[in-house]
Amino acid sequence: MEKIVRFGVSLEPDLLKKFDKLIRKKGYASRSEAIRDLIREETVKQSLENENEDIVGTLTIVYDHDASNVTNKLLDVQHLHHKNSLSTMHVHLDAHNCLEVIVVSGKGKDVRSIADRITSIKGVKHGKLVVTKKRFD
């Protein structure tokens, strides 16, 4: 079991009230756990700035499947980068629009490049890449 280190934090009363309200709303059992999550979030965010960091994530896109060959173009990019494209979920939103969630993995620079290629395809209306570290050592 890891050793726990205790330290003090000084906050203005109004900021502490806002923090307590936030952690109650999110269901944290303690301030300590909420602070640990905030620290983890920032350290992960920092490491993701390294383009050689191994990352995993999802690319969520909405596209018009009637647009000029968009479906084939999306598949071509995914097949070209098959080592980075792990899985795809496809949802029909209506008669013309589809949502896809593509699970991606690899070096940060490669994953971001693939996401940029996909979101820039004509017919893709919106895309968002969400990533995290692949390993938490």
Q: Does the pLDDT of residue 93 top 80, yes or no? A: yes
Rounded CA-CA distance 137/117 in Å is 31
Confidence band for 50, pLDDT divided at 50, 70 and 90: confident
Name residue 107's amino acid: K
With a pLDDT cut of 90, the percent of the chain lying above it is 82
* In a shared domain, residues 113 and 87: yes
Across 110-119, average pLDDT: 96
* In a shared domain, residues 64 and 110: yes
Residue 20 lies in a domain: yes
Torsion of CA 55, 56, 60, 66, to 10 degrees: 90
* In a shared domain, residues 97 and 126: yes
In the chain, the number of structural domains is: 2
Residue 6 lies in a domain: no
Q: What is the CATH number of the domain that holds 71?
A: 3.30.70.1150
> Domain boundary at 5, 29, 48, which?
48
Beta strands in 21-123 (DSSP E): 54-64, 85-92, 97-107
* In a shared domain, residues 128 and 72: yes
Are residues 118 and 102 in contact, defined by beta-carbon separation less than 8 angstroms?
A: yes
Confidence band for 67, pLDDT divided at 50, 70 and 90: very high
Confidence band for 47, pLDDT divided at 50, 70 and 90: confident
* In a shared domain, residues 81 and 105: yes
Domain residues for 39?
13-48
Report the predicted TM-score, pTM, of the whole model to 2 decimal places: 0.82
Are residues 88 and 103 in contact, defined by beta-carbon separation less than 8 angstroms?
A: yes
Residue 43 lies in a domain: yes
Residue 103 lies in a domain: yes
Backbone angles phi, psi at 111, to 5 degrees: -65, -45
